[in-house]
């Protein structure tokens, strides 16, 4: 029907004119978080038994588990949010949240969590 390529392109151009911008005005319109996304590693300290399986499985050596001090540390700049630790955790105390780490995380490089002593 339309042999001229200019006419074919016209549909795309007209559609773009009337559908508005495909970009989001970022600070005003926040990016929707996809809940399946691998974004941010978090721990529930009360469930952790300091088995250190997570740090053994971590391909980026981002996790440090210290049994003596009862601390669990994650280096946010090393963590590649692959989820290997989440799979390995026998107590299911690790979780990957869909939200991305904020930009201010750079100043606070390592996140340390104190693991409470298990009650008898």
**Binding to other proteins by residue 9, rule CB under 8 A?**
yes
**Binding to other proteins by residue 96, rule CB under 8 A?**
yes
**Binding to other proteins by residue 100, rule CB under 8 A?**
no
What secondary structure does DSSP assign to 58-106, as a single string?
-TT--EEEETTTTEEEEETTT-----HHHHH-TT--EEEESSPPPGGGG
**Binding to other proteins by residue 120, rule CB under 8 A?**
no
Contact 29, 54 (CB under 8 A): no
How many beta carbons lie within 10 A of that of residue 100, not counting itself?
A: 14
Gap between the Cα atoms of 95 and 38, Å rounded = 9
Which residue of 47, 49, 77, 80 would you call a contact of other proteins, by CB under 8 A? 80
Which residue of 59, 90, 102, 120 would you call a contact of other proteins, by CB under 8 A? 59
Q: Contact positions toward other proteins, by CB under 8 A?
A: 5, 8-9, 11-13, 16, 22, 34, 36-38, 57, 59-60, 80, 82-84, 87, 96
């Amino acid at each position: 029907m339309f042999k001229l390529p200019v006419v074919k392109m016209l549909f795309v151009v007209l559609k773009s004119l009337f559908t508005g911008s495909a970009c989001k005005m970022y600070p005003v319109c926040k990016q929707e978080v996809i809940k399946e996304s691998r974004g941010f590693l978090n721990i529930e300290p009360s469930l952790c038994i300091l088995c250190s399986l997570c740090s053994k499985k971590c391909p980026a050596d981002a996790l440090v588990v210290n049994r003596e001090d009862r601390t669990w540390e994650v280096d946010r700049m090393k963590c590649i949010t692959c989820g290997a630790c989440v799979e390995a955790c026998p107590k299911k105390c690790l979780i990957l949240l869909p939200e991305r780490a904020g930009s201010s995380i750079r100043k606070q490089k390592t996140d340390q969590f104190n693991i409470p002593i298990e009650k008898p």
